Amino acid sequence: MTLRRLLLLLLLSGIAPAAAAQQTPAQVPVASTATAPAATLDAETKCLALSVYWEGKTETHEGQLAVAHTVLNRTRHLDFPNTICGVVAQKSGGRKSVCQFSWWCDGKRDEPQDDENWQDAVDVARATMQAEAADPTGGALYFHSSRIKPPAWAVKRKRLARIGDHIFYR
């Protein structure tokens, strides 16, 4: 966690520095909305909804489902943590210990700013967790934006689909 992120979390949450250093995505403050206030969400739903919001809020419903399923697919794979919050907060290996999901360690506020997009993200997270929506990726474990040059890891993975602005891999 960067110093900037730690300070931001301290300012937003009003908690002690020692506690802030241990925060997970589930502890990110979420703007209260009329439809899905943070207090009504369990930690795992909140982690998944934040991932859908930040990684896919401009995507179609199918694109948001693809992001959500990729996170859930990781929870079922031995190479990743077995909880949604663990997957979201996981650092990648290698020399540069960077986050698996860019929104989690980009140094920006993680609190959703748009109530409508936040509610869509919560709805997608709930539907995905309750197995009410099929996986449009066919079992993806990775994705990246199509707007960037493919990361080095992409050449080692099987490309499964392009859905909206993201390319999905296993």
Q: What is the CATH number of the domain that holds 124?
A: 1.10.10.2520
Tell me the average pLDDT of the chain: 80
Residue 65, in any domain of the structure: yes
Q: How far apart are CA 84 and CA 80, in angstroms?
A: 10
Please report the pLDDT score of residue 97 as a whole number.
Answer: 56
- pLDDT band of residue 15 (cuts 50, 70, 90) is very low
The number of residues making up the chain comes to 170
Is the pTM higher than 0.85? no
How many domains does the structure of the chain reveal?
1
- pLDDT band of residue 68 (cuts 50, 70, 90) is very high
Residue 91, in any domain of the structure: yes
Residue 110, in any domain of the structure: yes
Please report the pLDDT score of residue 1 as a whole number.
Answer: 43
Q: How far apart are CA 46 and CA 51, in angstroms?
A: 9
As a whole number, mean pLDDT of residues 37-47 equals 81
**What is the span of the domain harbouring residue 108?**
3-8+43-131
Q: Does 157 score more than 90 pLDDT?
A: yes
Residue 163, in any domain of the structure: no
Residue 155, in any domain of the structure: no
Contact 145, 88 (CB under 8 A): no
Please report the pLDDT score of residue 11 as a whole number.
Answer: 36
Please report the pLDDT score of residue 34 as a whole number.
Answer: 41
Please report the pLDDT score of residue 36 as a whole number.
Answer: 54
Q: How far apart are CA 84 and CA 157, in angstroms?
A: 22
Residue 35, in any domain of the structure: no
Residue 72, in any domain of the structure: yes
Residue 26, in any domain of the structure: no
144: three-class secondary structure by DSSP: strand
As a whole number, mean pLDDT of residues 98-104 equals 81
Please report the pLDDT score of residue 91 as a whole number.
Answer: 81
As a whole number, mean pLDDT of residues 107-117 equals 87
